[in-house]
Amino acid sequence: MPEDLSKLEKTLKIKFKNKELLRQALVHRSYLNENPSFALPHNERLEFLGDAVLELAVTEYLYQNYPNPEGELTNFRASLVNSIMMAKIARNFELEKYLLMSKGETKDIGRARQCLIANAIEAVIGAIYLDRGYKTAKKFVEKNITKELPDILEQKLYEDPKSRFQEESQERAGITPTYKALKEWGPDHDKHFIVGVYLEKDLIAQGEGRSKQDAQREAAQEALKAKGWNK
């Protein structure tokens, strides 16, 4: 490992009974392509589990603490569990320096890297769940992720960015934005999409997600930033 996992445990404030679970959460598929004899599998199954644990913990927190209608709670949740937020949380823990990935992935510092580290923090949540149970995983989510909600609410980041960008585009430029899938990859159970948002023929921004809808939302959010149209 590039770094001692005990340092990461201190940063996470969680002591693992089975440290191999934490180690596995940090193994990207590409690393095994270059190191086929490595003892552990990649982190995609843990990511799959962690994604479900994260969504349940956030949903439970919102249900218990916010009396808002279901549609608003759905938007609140989406703003907490998207890849941009997950990458931010991962960077708070400096998770990137613990990741095992191929030399090619190490050189990529763009949008694909953001997705990779976002997936890794979900895998870590899956590892926490398996090692310490739901109660500890839920506490971790509430301490490190749902704490971002007050800022999200204050800045109205939960509002649907596609609707906001369309309103701003029509009002400011008289143009309705269009979206185009630029790239997709991965098996059916773990698809990833990159989508571009355009004003006529001009590519304004790109977004990435596990569905075209998620990628469009992120593209719209990035386009609002690029245009300086955030309210």
Do residues 130 and 184 share a domain? Answer: no
Do residues 45 and 10 share a domain? Answer: yes
Which of 155, 172, 201 delimits the end of a domain?
A: 155
Do residues 138 and 66 share a domain? Answer: yes
Active-site option among 3, 4, 20, 51:
51
pTM: 0.76
* pLDDT number for residue 2: 43
Number of domains in the chain: 2
Do residues 177 and 141 share a domain? Answer: no
* pLDDT number for residue 108: 62
Do residues 120 and 196 share a domain? Answer: no
Ranges of residues in the chain with a pLDDT under 50 are 1-2
For residue range 179-210, what is the model confidence (pLDDT) as tens digits? Answer: 999 999 887 777 889 999 999 999 999 998 88
Which of 155, 187, 215 delimits the end of a domain?
A: 155
* pLDDT number for residue 93: 94
* pLDDT number for residue 210: 80
* pLDDT number for residue 7: 93
* pLDDT number for residue 3: 55
Do residues 51 and 165 share a domain? Answer: no
For residue range 94-118, what is the model confidence (pLDDT) as tens digits? Answer: 999 899 988 776 666 566 677 889 9
* pLDDT number for residue 1: 43
Q: Read off the amino acid at residue 185.
A: W
Active site residue 51: yes
Do residues 146 and 168 share a domain? Answer: no
The domain that contains 204 carries what CATH number? 3.30.160.20
Residue 166 neighbours by CB distance under 10 Å: 16
* pLDDT number for residue 110: 61
Structural domain harbouring 64: 5-155
Active-site option among 20, 94, 105, 122:
122
Do residues 125 and 184 share a domain? Answer: no
Active site residue 70: no
Which of 91, 124, 155 delimits the end of a domain?
A: 155
Do residues 9 and 121 share a domain? Answer: yes
